[in-house]
Amino acid sequence: MWKTRQSLPPPVLPIDIENALKPLFTYFDDNFAIMQQTLTTASMIAVMTRLWKEVLLAIEALLIPPLSDKPSPQRALNRQEADTVFLWLELLRAFFNARDEETGEAMGVPDDVLKNAKYHELKQLAFFYFDPTDSLIKTSERMASATAARALAQRTSLSLPPGSLGPSLGAGLGSATSLRRGKSIMLSRNLGTMRQAKEEKRREAQADPSDDAAREAGCGGGGGVDCEAESRGWGKVWGE
């Protein structure tokens, strides 16, 4: 017996995929033209943004079944069908953006608004759609662990007092401030030494006033006192 051969579907061209959306584009154009006559530009953009969110939900419903505890009759798409849906996503985004071909200016919803969280979720879905279930479970667990670790690190960094930065932050942030901090510490120590030395000198002067006279006589009258050495000693205290 001859085995029956399964016929492969003919390849679908990008122009065919785009033509499938033409009735939808015509419907949008007609309604947008009516709304543009009565709405302000800001209100028009707001309406188109709300409609874009509904478009994303419709595309998501084509790709995956809704979350439910009951089995869904919806089957997974094959690769050709999935490629068609993801191409629809980009065509619809370009339609809502309405970029002028000559000036390049976006006349519709700004691109940063169109590329919202749901849009990025659908783009990520394209990378994992055909992975086996076991691989998806492992990837999901790994991503959840990484997200939890980042959240814990962020909470920990926010709860720490300002002066308790770790070595990793100290290496990046403290390189420029460590020298200044070291100088300020040395300066405070030197000032403390200066104050202590002045206090001791004041006490000595009060105890025996003749000591200062003897020191002056020694410096100026050949008493054997090295005044320059003493001056250098004070210079060390000041860090000169």
Residue type, 219: C
> What is the overall mean pLDDT for the chain?
75
Comparing 225 with 99, the larger pLDDT belongs to 99
DSSP symbol at 176: H
pLDDT above 70 coverage of the chain, percent: 62
Please give the residue that has the higher pLDDT: either 50 or 153.
Answer: 50
Of 106 and 55, the structure prediction assigns the larger pLDDT to 55
Mean predicted confidence (pLDDT) in 222-238: 42
The pLDDT confidence band at residue 205, using thresholds 50, 70 and 90, is low
Q: Which of 117-121, 144-148, 199-203 has the lowest mean pLDDT?
A: 199-203
Better-scored residue on pLDDT, 181 or 29: 29
Q: Would the pTM count as exceeding 0.85?
A: no
Averaged pLDDT, 120-136: 88
- Contacts of 116-119 with CB under 8 Å at 24 or more apart are 116/53, 116/56, 118/53, 118/56, 118/57, 118/60, 119/56, 119/89, 119/93
Higher pLDDT, 158 or 17: 17
Label residue 201 by pLDDT band (50, 70, 90).
low
If DSSP codes are grouped into helix, strand and coil, which group holds residue 32? helix
Q: Residue 9: its pLDDT value, please?
A: 66
Using CA of residue 99, residue 101, residue 105, residue 107, what is the dihedral sign? negative
